[in-house]
Amino acid sequence: MMNKKTDVLVIGAGLSGMMAAARAAQSGKKVTLLTKGMGTLSLTSGCIDLWGYEVDNPKQPCGSPFAQIQKVVEQNPSHPYAKVYDVLKESLTFFQGICDKDGLTYRDNGGENWLLPTAVGTLRPTYLAPTSMAVKDLNKVKQIVVAGFDELKDFYPEVLVTNLKKSKLLRPDCELTVAHLKSGWKKLYATSLAHRLEQPEGQREVIRQLKPLIKPGAIVLFPPALGERRDIDVAGLISKGLGCPVYEVTNLPPALPGQRLQDLFLKYLKNQGVTVILSSTVTGAQVAGNRCSHVTAEGAGKTFTISAQTYILATGSFVGGGFDSKPGQIEETIFGLPINTGDGKWASGEFLSLKGHPFNRFGIDVNDRLQPVDGQSKVILENVLVTGANLAGSEFSIEKCGNGVALASGFKAGKLAGEVSR
């Protein structure tokens, strides 16, 4: 059996895993990132949410997310932000630096959350958005043109317009216009549309059809499919052709903004000398005392072991595949770490409510150094660090904190792993 050695082994290629790998590599460590799939970034908006609503008034979108997070940290020491608040701002700067270097700029809104339109016409609070999604001054816009494609299944301009019209944020006289573009293709998927729009003739076709509808002071909203490649600024090119700003909105997966971020990070990691092993699964861990000595993995028909000084568990929750469940039983699939299931109730009676669901809070309890701990706060495995959705105590879907927790915990785990002496 082949044996690989590395300083830091990161398991999982979601946002927290890639941040951890990036930060550990910066410390000069030999880093290996192993992943089963392509992470869950392509299922996300591609923006970075830190915290969405006021802690004391959970229907009210908050201005600065930091003030709210500070409150959370003070009130709830078991929230993952309480473990990583010390590095939150640093991790954001680190993240923005990586993205900037690639040319995919992530913008903040002067310290306040953005409120950005979605495909169903809601406005979602988020902290950082790629330029192609960062709609500026929505409250001053005189016309919003929503561009759909008849052949594209999962984007309906009428749905967006019907609901966005109700927003009090818009000028009362803001005109909402539905544009049905024809691609001439029989079927369109987000990715095929993205490829088509990377071509000059694709852009020309869209501009030709949209131009007659554009009035002064307009913006155009597109499905999140303005190109897959990051070296062609599709939004910018269409914007130039139309003479007005052009944006992508958040939509169902597959959405390209999340995928672009994934591609960017993987490229960055490779450039930093990180060994990336794709399509491989960790099948077991060898533990001696309270340390992991190596893990066994399978990929491309081969079984191999990897030994590292530090293991970073960034396998995600249920969606990511880090946790598995049977009736009445939940397990962390690699180390068998205990999962905090609160009072044992798994789900709420109402599917959609401000309460969210207990299963989203399920996760591994950690100390301030992100080491897994048991019910008596005793470290279970001292060279295993836990990040992102593997952490217990947050409801990402309601609190809108998943990306922030992933960034900061990944960053912190990478930093801590970098400090381990050889």
Partner 1 sequence: MATEKVQVVVVGGGATGTGILRDLAMRGISALLVEQGDLAHGTSSRFHGLLHSGGRYAVKDQEAAKECLEENMILRRIASDCVEPTGGLFAALPEDDPAYAEKWVKACAESGIKTEELNIKELLKKYPVLSPRITKAYSTPDAAVDGFRLLWSNVNSARRYGAKMVTYHKLSAVYRANGAITGVELTNTLNGEITSVECQMVINAAGAWAGEVAAMAGLEIHMIKDKGTLLAFNHRLTNQVVNRLRPPGDADIFVPHGTITLLGTTSIAVEDPNSTKPSEIEVENMLNIGRETMPNIDNYRIIRAFAGVRPLYQANKGAGGRAVTRNFALIDHEQKDGLKGLVSIVGGKFTTYRLMAEKTVDLAAKKLGNNTPCRTAEEPLTQPVTSEMLERGKKVFGVPGYKKAAERLGDAYGKVVEKAEQDPSMRRMFCECELVSASEIDYVAKDGDSKTLSDIRRKTRMGMGTCQGIFCSYRTLGALGNNPQFTVGHREFITEFLQNRWRGIRPVLWGQQLRETQLSTGIFCSLFGMERMNDE
Binding site for partner 1 (CB under 8 A): 43-45, 49, 52-53, 59, 61, 118-120, 122-124, 150-151, 153-159, 162-163, 166-169, 187, 250-253, 317-319, 321, 324-329, 346-347, 349-354, 356-357, 359-360, 396-398, 400, 402
Rounded CA separation 28/9 (Å) = 14
Nearer to partner 1, 364 or 380 (CB): 364
Q: Do strands 280-288 and 291-299 pair parallel, antiparallel, or not at all (unpaired)?
A: antiparallel
Nearer to partner 1, 275 or 341 (CB): 341
- Smallest gap from Cβ 183 to partner 1, in A, equals 12
| Cβ at position 87, least distance to partner 1 in Å | 23
Q: How far is the CB of 396 from partner 1 (least distance, A)?
A: 6
- Report the DSSP pairing between strands 302-307 and 291-299: antiparallel
Matching residue, tokens 């990929």: 299
Handedness of CA 228, 230, 235, 238 (dihedral sign): negative
Is 191 or 199 the residue whose CB approaches partner 1 more closely? 191
Closest CA to 34 of 1, 6, 4, 12: 12
Query: Nearer to partner 1 by C-beta: 284 or 321?
Result: 321
Least separation in angstroms between residue 347's CB and partner 1 is: 6
Closest distance of CB 48 from partner 1, Å: 12
CB-wise, 168 or 422, nearer to partner 1? 168
- Residue 97 sits at φ, ψ, to 5 deg, of -60, -45
φ, ψ of residue 57 in degrees (nearest 5): -145, 75
Query: Do 158 and 170 touch, CB atoms closer than 8 A?
Result: no
What amino acid is encoded at 254 in this protein? P
3-state secondary structure of 202: helix
- CA dist 293 and 296 (Å) reads 10
Across-strand partners of 302?
Answer: 299
Determine the 3-state secondary structure of 380 from DSSP.
coil
Q: Locate tokens 């409120």: which residue?
A: 115
Would you give the distance in Å from CA 305 to the centre of its chain? Answer: 29
Q: How far is the CB of 171 from partner 1 (least distance, A)?
A: 15
Closer residue to partner 1 (CB): 158 or 368 = 158
Output the smallest distance, CB 397 to partner 1, in A. 4
In angstroms and rounded to an integer, the radius of gyration of the C-alpha atoms of the chain is 22
Least distance CB 398 / partner 1 (angstroms): 6
Could you tell me if 231 and 157 are in contact, meaning their C-beta atoms sit under 8 angstroms apart?
A: no
DSSP per residue, 63-132: S-HHHHHHHHHHH-TTSHHHHHGGGHHHHHHHHHHHHHHHT--EE-BTTBPEEEEBTTS-EEEESBEETT
Query: In terms of CB distance, is 326 or 422 closer to partner 1?
Result: 326
The string of DSSP letters for 134-165 reads ----GGG-SEEEEEEETTBTT--HHHHHHHHT
305 Cβ neighbours under 8 A, 6+ residues apart: 1, 2, 3, 4, 286, 294, 295, 296, 297
Residue 216 structure tokens: 């002064």
Q: Residue 375 Cβ, how far from partner 1 at the closest point, in Å?
A: 23
Least separation in angstroms between CB 343 and partner 1? 16
Place of tokens 């909105």: 249
Pick 258 or 414: Cβ nearer partner 1? 258
Cβ proximity to partner 1: between 41 and 417 the closer is 41
Q: Which is nearer to partner 1, 81 or 155 (CB)?
A: 155
Q: How far is the CB of 331 from partner 1 (least distance, A)?
A: 11
Among residues 27 and 340, whose Cβ is nearest to partner 1? 340
